[in-house]
Amino acid sequence: MKKSKFSPVQVAGILKEFENGKDVETISREHGVSRATFYKWRQRYGGMEASELKKVKALEEENAKLKRMYADLALELDMAKHVIEKKL
């Protein structure tokens, strides 16, 4: 997964600017964020504080790590089953 160049605190700040009345075009121009990225952040993290956003990011990273671990173990198990079948 690609690492964001914006920290959770920055994302929360950008979303807070929108809530305070700035329009999307101005925010996009000032921070160098596409409108699509802004709306994705707003959909995913809207209404969250920076501390909550950090927790969500950490959980997403942990979830991705666990999925990779599961995929590796499933592959190893499948290979072991294949080797055992050949021996019998």
Q: What is the per-residue pLDDT across 67-86, written as a single tens digit (0 to 9) for each?
A: 999 999 999 999 999 999 88
Question: Does 42 lie in the same domain as 61?
Answer: no
Structure tokens at 33: 């964020």
35: enclosing H helix or E strand: helix 35-45
Q: Tally the domains of the chain.
A: 2
Question: Does 33 lie in the same domain as 2?
Answer: yes
pLDDT for 9 beyond 60: yes
* Residue 13 structural domain: 1-48
CB atoms within 10 A of CB 57: 15
CA distance 48 to 16: 9
Structure tokens at 18: 């929108």
Residue range 13-47, pLDDT digits in tens: 899 999 898 999 999 999 999 999 999 999 988 87
Question: Does 76 lie in the same domain as 65?
Answer: yes
Question: Does 62 lie in the same domain as 42?
Answer: no
Question: Does 41 lie in the same domain as 55?
Answer: no
pLDDT for 1 beyond 60: no
Question: Does 67 lie in the same domain as 44?
Answer: no
Question: Does 59 lie in the same domain as 28?
Answer: no
Entry pTM: 0.60
